Structure 1
Amino acid sequence: RAVSYVQDEYKAQGIDPADVQNAYLSHMATTMFGLCLVSLVATILTGAVASRTACSIARDLRRETFDKVMHFSPAEVGKFSQASLITRCTNDIQQIQMAATLFIRMCLMAPVMGIVAVMRVLANHTGLEWTIAVAIIAVSAVVGVLMGLTMPKFKKMQSFVDRVNLTARELLDGLMPIRSFNREEHELERFDKASLDLMTTQLYTNRAMSFMMPLMMLVMNCITVLIVWFGAQGVSDGVMQVGNMMAFISYTMQIVMAFMILTMVSVILPRAEVAAERVEEVITCPTSINDPVSPKLPAASAPRGELTFRDVSFQYPDARADVISGVNFTTHAGQMLGIIGSTGSGKSTLVQLIPRLYDVTGGSISLDGIDVRDMTLSELRRRIGYIPQQGRLFSGTVESNLKFAGDMVSDEDMRQAARVAQAEDFIAEREDGYDSPISQGGSNVSGGQRQRLAIARALAKKPEVVVFDDSFSALDYKTDARLREELAKNVTDAALVVVAQRIATIMHADQIIVLDDGHVVGTGTHEELLRSCPAYLEIAQSQLSAEELGLTQEEIAAVMEGGER
């Protein structure tokens, strides 16, 4: 009757009711279309802001994490392992980036949707508001149960990713020994085991999270049934209009959808949380080698290249005993110090203390009269050229590797270093000379060539102390002799510290230190040690004949007998 009355009233005033209805529909359609455009623009802006913010977070995290790793000593690298550090700098930060993107995009939209829907619900008093509380409690219960089931697995998943990366790295690095020992099947089984553990964990988490959407739909449909059931009673009693009930259903679904959007983000949050904890472990890990609070520099009048060990001892972290104890010596620029000893006697560990790859646990090491711990790491390492046994080259060219120290290395310095290191000949034989490409790790050059390039790289920076950590092991005797001869002629303004296994490499050194189980058991020249140090004589006998040693059997027996006493 009300509708008929309104229509008759419009007609009495000469207004067509259809025109009124069309005008209303046009107005509402225009308003809704405008809101859709605003929503579209807001969504695009939200996506752009989310992507840019997440990428910036990932960039800054990656830079901070890698910067921290670059300041790690071998002790911290060993604590995490190289494979784990690679995973943390790449995969873990990628998980954080994905979570940040979803979080910003969804969490900017969901609260707006939920708040507007709640405001509309509260504006219409229907008596069904309790159904919203039931829906929120049900959604929270579903999310809580799923998070409780999957969180421990997400934590294990990242460690399994570490293990897969570590296994793959070992297989690739050890490809030649694996083939030579015919262990391909065994290593493939080991990789399959690591991969299977990761797959099983991922299947468990994915299956658990796959229940999320069906359960959310079940909650939404159950809430819809509740609203219809109790709303129908209100319609029957005449206290609620059908339109109000349908609007309430729409608003309730918007509120539930807002919570569903948040739960979609929660699918990736557990793994992102684990990834964030792992990245935080790296960033907050204290470093054992740090710059001094008040750095010092050698005086202008201080002797260049004077290296002194004073009662030096060293113990690895978590070790029970010193691996080096009571080492004392001094060497000067223009002198060569040889260090020799049996395998495991602490030779490499000793020279790694010079550039502060590790810090001494007792005594002190001074360079040019200043304790190395009182210099900044950059200043100390600028003065030291360190060549490890396994010379590591970087992808690029021969020139980029020899000038690795920076712009301070001129072309003449580079070529002079190559001549001294006996690398000039094979560089000239390459088609592009110093512009010849070097692949990652120097895999396109031989072991001896790689060592000579590593030696040239260290010499090119003109350091005060050059440390050769068994860096002649891949050289033949002829190249070894020529290289040592060139070092003696051209490198007269730097102290040479040479760790060697071969007597021939260090027999002409100005001073030789013999290590045995971390202790100095002999110091002197080659001739002096042959007649006074049984450990040195034993090594010499294994490599040189009695004629080359210049000792009679009686003299050898006397030295060995004196050592036994």
Structure 2
Amino acid sequence: TLFIRMVLMAPIMGVVAIMRVLATHTGLEWTIGIAVIAVSAVVGVLMGLTMPKFKKMQTYVDRVNLVAREMLDGVMPIRAFGRQSHELERFDGASRDLMDTQLFTNRAMSFMMPLMMFVMNCVTVLIVWAGSHGVSDGVMQVGDMMAFISYTMQIVMAFMILTMVSVMLPRAEVAAERVEDVLSTQSSIREPAHPKLPTASAPRGELAFHNVSFQYPDAREDVIGGVDFTVHAGETLGIIGSTGSGKSTLVQLIPRLYDVTGGKVTLDGVDVRDMPLSELRRRVGYIPQQGMLFSGTVESNLKFAGESVSDDDMRRAADIAQATEFIEQREGAWDSEISQGGSNVSGGQRQRLSIARALAKRPEVIVFDDSFSALDYKTDALLREQLAAHEKDSAVVVVAQRIATIMHADQVIVLDEGRVVGRGTHEQLLRSCPAYLEIAQSQLSAAELGLTDAEIARVMEGGER
């Protein structure tokens, strides 16, 4: 509407007025030049003063929104640390920067209309003064002079309209550039040029890492290096290590949330980079550390994978994830409402619903990225028992901090600074991997470990040869 009514109208009105002025042959055309120069001077001075401020204004608006959002999202820690006054001062600072900028620009632009009216009235007086001599000499009619004044005012008005539009352009330009930055960003994860699918004879649910390494963009060193393992359908692989050892990064390479920078990851014998993304992610069920739910119902969340998920799949997945009991206790059961982010369910319930959502699509590979952290030990044990009983056609990869979560896995690998420092079963690692034994000692008693002090000392000195 603004474009049609103002941006297009102003030049058309100005051009037509100039054509009519030139057609009158009054000899007063020089007054239009004076008017245009005066208007341009006023606009130039005001734009020179306000343009830098207008460009900053969008940044200040973003800053106010950012601080306000952080205050609302972080209201609990802010109260817990007694930082209300500090956060209010931070918000006041951001708001004051915006207010000062807006006051400056508004005060500067408030001079535009009076100055424009002054220019228009001066031009009118100039035309009347110069035209009166032509009327007195009999070379111009009064009607021609009045028409010339009208045309001149239309030309000046066209400049005024374009000036008003130009006031809005800097903020629009900044906003458009920010949107364009997002739209023009190319994803680093792209569809393969020549997609491949596993053959009918390929083993289903076989996941393998072949000397895999990964480095974040602009990083100097690999965060993961030389990782090799294979897990088949019906088997469970446990991954454990200290904080920051690269466990989550490693499993995020499976559904191609990141791409390997060395080696390759294969699923059913096909490099995941050669497999269509939709097909790869249909075959992989990934449960992140933080369970994220979407506004809707329990059913819509559990059927998030699409129409391929049936009611039976949904209920089966909820049973395995130990979520059926609390779902059916909610008012509305499967049709009960889930608020944005799952804020109306507890952390453990949100985690179980996230697990059930991934299981409902019956994936070939199930990846738990420390997804048991919000579960109590009893629920953890029941869920793992149900997984072992019902997911025999899927390979299971479990990232965990707790030894109890992965101690019954068919294979456990221990990561330290992105490198595999131990591989084997729970019992084997207790007697061969100092890093694993150190983690186990921090969580389990000596009796639970089943090791003597001498055995522990020998392992910590370098492990069994």
Change (3 A) 1:130 1:564: farther
Matched residues, number? 465
**1:326 Cα offset (Å):** 1.2
> Are 2:212 and 2:225, in contact at CA under 8 Å, matched by a contact in 1?
yes
Q: 1:316 aligns with which of 216, 225, 229?
A: 216
**1:493 Cα offset (Å):** 1.0
The whole-number CA distance in structure 2 between the counterparts of 1:501 and 1:377 is 30
Q: Following superposition of structure 1 onto structure 2, how do residues 43-442 of structure 1 map, counting pairs within 5 Å?
A: 101-442=1-342
**1:164 Cα offset (Å):** 2.3
> Are 2:293 and 2:341, in contact at CA under 8 Å, matched by a contact in 1?
yes
AA aligned opposite 1:455: I
> Are 1:345 and 1:516, in contact at CA under 8 Å, matched by a contact in 2?
yes
**1:115 Cα offset (Å):** 2.8
Match of 2:456 in 1: 556
The whole-number CA distance in structure 1 between the counterparts of 2:236 and 2:106 is 63
**1:237 Cα offset (Å):** 2.5
**1:235 Cα offset (Å):** 2.2
Q: Following superposition of structure 1 onto structure 2, how do residues 416-565 of structure 1 map, counting pairs within 5 Å?
A: 416-562=316-462
Please give the TM-score of this superposition, normalised by the length of structure 2.
0.97
**1:514 Cα offset (Å):** 0.5
> Are 1:147 and 1:270, in contact at CA under 8 Å, matched by a contact in 2?
no
Change (3 A) 1:456 1:241: same
AA aligned opposite 2:356: A
**1:396 Cα offset (Å):** 0.7
Please give the TM-score of this superposition, normalised by the length of structure 1.
0.80
Report which stretch shifted further, 149-158 or 129-138.
149-158
AA aligned opposite 1:505: T
Larger radius of gyration: 1
Deviations 1:31-65 (A, max 9, x none): xxxxxxxxxxxxxxxxxxxxxxxxxxxxxxxxxxx
- For the aligned residue pairs, the C-alpha RMSD in angstroms reads 1.6
Deviations 1:445-490 (A, max 9, x none): 1000000000000000111111111100011100000000000000
The whole-number CA distance in structure 2 between the counterparts of 1:286 and 1:143 is 40
AA aligned opposite 1:229: W
**1:414 Cα offset (Å):** 0.3
> Are 2:293 and 2:354, in contact at CA under 8 Å, matched by a contact in 1?
yes
| Secondary structure, aligned partner of 1:532 | coil
> Are 1:291 and 1:376, in contact at CA under 8 Å, matched by a contact in 2?
yes
- Show structure 1 runs of 4+ deviating over 6 A: none
| Secondary structure, aligned partner of 1:313 | strand
> Are 1:421 and 1:456, in contact at CA under 8 Å, matched by a contact in 2?
yes
AA aligned opposite 1:279: V
The whole-number CA distance in structure 2 between the counterparts of 1:151 and 1:332 is 64
Deviations 1:267-315 (A, max 9, x none): 2111111111111111112221111111111112111111111111111
AA aligned opposite 1:302: A
| Secondary structure, aligned partner of 1:273 | helix
The whole-number CA distance in structure 2 between the counterparts of 1:207 and 1:321 is 54
The whole-number CA distance in structure 1 between the counterparts of 2:306 and 2:186 is 29
The whole-number CA distance in structure 1 between the counterparts of 2:290 and 2:145 is 77
AA aligned opposite 1:339: I
Percent sequence identity is 81
> Are 2:431 and 2:464, in contact at CA under 8 Å, matched by a contact in 1?
no
| Secondary structure, aligned partner of 2:8 | helix
> Are 2:237 and 2:397, in contact at CA under 8 Å, matched by a contact in 1?
yes
The whole-number CA distance in structure 1 between the counterparts of 2:229 and 2:109 is 65
**1:564 Cα offset (Å):** 12
Looking at secondary structure, tell me which structure has more helix per residue: 1
**1:371 Cα offset (Å):** 1.0
AA aligned opposite 1:535: A
> Are 1:103 and 1:265, in contact at CA under 8 Å, matched by a contact in 2?
no
Match of 1:37 in 2: none
The whole-number CA distance in structure 1 between the counterparts of 2:105 and 2:392 is 65
